[in-house]
Structure 1
Amino acid sequence: MSVEERPFDVRWEQRDAGVVVIATGEIDLWSAPEVKAALAEHRTRDGSVVLDLRGVTFMDSSGLGLIVESNQRARKHGFRFAVAVGGASDVHRILEMSGLMQVLEFVDDPDAFLAGEPS
């Protein structure tokens, strides 16, 4: 499969209390830079960023790396960062096996997180 045929998209949505960066498809060596760029571009808007991975069907170590970098950037620059991921997905299992589920903030509902509601 060529890069052009890879099922992937990343977009962002501005909300009242922050930004949701929504990725769908596969996050790998080729697509991770697009997700990273979207997160970096919107990291300082309104103090909160959620990376929504609920539509991601595959993620390799490139995706794990961008999540770790985004979390470090959030701490350094003083904004809130969370990840939304489906409970029974392959991505959820990867995040559990990596140990990131114990380190990062994960949410079920990006809007609730941005509104300051408990996750």
Structure 2
Amino acid sequence: MRFAMGVYELAFTMRERVAGGAVVVELLGEIDILAEQTLGPRLETLAGRCRGDLVIDLRGVTFLDASGVRLLLRARGRTVRCGARLRVVRGGSMVSKVIRISGVEPAFTWLDAFPPSAVGSVPA
């Protein structure tokens, strides 16, 4: 959470869209315990509704901690239980380092890129 001009602002957001036949979830900003508590239920709902591919895009993530890793693992579990496939677009070097150090990298199918949001996308 950030404080700017007398107002508290969330330091994260989540956008959903459908692109390339997959539900794409873009995580943006600081994915910490507050983000996990706020975004977790929305992400689990999307993962539970998904019958094909769910792609989580980490390219816009500026900070990731253990809570963010837990958020990804919860989404993975929900997706697998629903018979869908989860893929994750790699984030920046700091995000990749947290994933690697936490030892969860093998739990995910990693992508270096995914179709951009401009062409053929609709809100999820």
For Structure 1 versus Structure 2, the TM-score category normalised by the shorter chain is 0.7 to 0.9
- C-alpha change, 1:106 and 1:35, in structure 2 (3 Å) is farther
Q: Structure 1 stretches (4+) deviating beyond 6 angstroms?
A: none
Report 1 or 2 for greater relative contact order, CA contacts < 8 Å, sequence distance ≥ 6.
2
Whole-angstrom CA distance in 2 between matches of 1:45 and 1:72: 12
Aligned residues: 111
Are 2:76 and 1:71 equivalent residues in the alignment? yes
TM-score by length of 1: 0.80
TM-score by length of 2: 0.77
Are 2:21 and 1:11 equivalent residues in the alignment? no
Whole-angstrom CA distance in 2 between matches of 1:98 and 1:54: 18
Higher strand share: 2
Selected match of 1:27 from 18, 31, 50: 31
- C-alpha change, 1:6 and 1:63, in structure 2 (3 Å) is same
* Equivalent runs, 1:107-118 vs 2, <5 Å: 107-111=111-115
Please tell me the root mean square deviation across aligned C-alpha atoms, in Å: 2.2
> Which position in structure 2 is the counterpart of 1:53?
58
**Identical residues among aligned pairs (%):** 32
